[in-house]
Amino acid sequence: MKIDAVTIFPEYFSPLQLSLIGKAQENDILDIAIHNLRDYTEDNHHSVDDTPYGGGAGMVMKPEIWGLVLDDLMIPETDLIILTPAGEVFDQRMAEELSKSSHLIFACGRYEGIDARVGQYYSQDEFAAQGIRVREVSIGNYVLGGGEVAALVMIEAITRLLPGVLGNPDSLAEESHVEDGFLEYPNFTKPQTWRGIGVPEILLSGNHAAIAKWRREEAAKKAEK
Ligand code: JD2
């Protein structure tokens, strides 16, 4: 999978060198490139924002510069993801869908966001005919300062689903019910008693069928809440 992220703060993406995502890049399972939007500006001040039509507080990111970058990065079969607090809310189902894509572009805005015509432009039929899909996505109902942290969250959730990224594929199979609201059972490890609190007796029984049943019940209890 190829991932491009466009931002005025490339440093936000340095954690992607760490851990399993960093390894996946070394192993050629993943290819992540971060692009500085300001590199595409042509004026002396490298300005990326301007005042909003209709008035109001804050600044809006200019469409021309986004057009230059995105024209550069766009290829057939691309999913362009525009982060915005008003987008469709990201969830495990969307992560699974996007993990099947060959190319993701994350457009990370700042200020009050990106001129709305950028998303409109790449949603047109001529792009759709090349397998280019545009989605406006939010990671949850709270307001961030920009799209970078949201892109990081999505990249982590999506890339861990790629074959060869997770060390143990069993852990993927086990969590495949997250979307049904069927979340995880509580986990315990050694010591058997910690600060006076023991481990549920059933987990020490060696009865695998009974343990599986107990875990399903505990997970169901969490799903109710
Ligand atoms: C962003 C901002 C509009 C006020 C670009 C915020 C997001 N779940 C989420 N919350 N906030 C964002 C997000 C994403 C991109 C931008 N801002 C700041 N925009 C109104 C503040 C600018 C996601 N994904």
Which residues, in sequence order, are CB contacts of 39 under 8 Å at separation 6+?
none
| Phi then psi dihedrals of residue 205, to 5 deg | -75, -25
CA distances from 129 to 1, 3, 106 (A): 21, 21, 20
pLDDT at residue 89 in the model? 98
> Letter for the amino acid at 33?
A
pLDDT at residue 222 in the model? 85
Mean pLDDT, 10 residues at a time, the chain of 225 residues? 98 94 93 97 95 98 98 98 98 98 98 98 98 98 98 98 85 70 85 98 98 96 82
Q: Write out residues with Cβ below 6 Å of ligand 1.
A: 83-85, 109-113, 137-140, 142-147, 150
Helix (H/G/I), strand (E/B), else coil: 107: strand
The answer to whether the CB of 202 falls within 8 A of the CB of 214 is yes
Give the mutation target among 84, 142, 152 for probing the ligand 1 site: most ligand atoms within 8 A of CB.
Answer: 84
Q: Whose CA is nearest to atom 24 of ligand 1?
A: 138
pLDDT at residue 179 in the model? 66
Give the mutation target among 59, 83, 118, 136 for probing the ligand 1 site: most ligand atoms within 8 A of CB.
Answer: 83
The answer to whether the CB of 124 falls within 8 A of the CB of 130 is no
Distance 132 CA to ligand 1 centre (A): 23
Residue 52 CA to residue 7 CA, distance in Å, equals 20
Decide the pairing of beta strands 193-194 and 133-138.
unpaired
Q: Whose CA is nearest to atom 15 of ligand 1?
A: 147
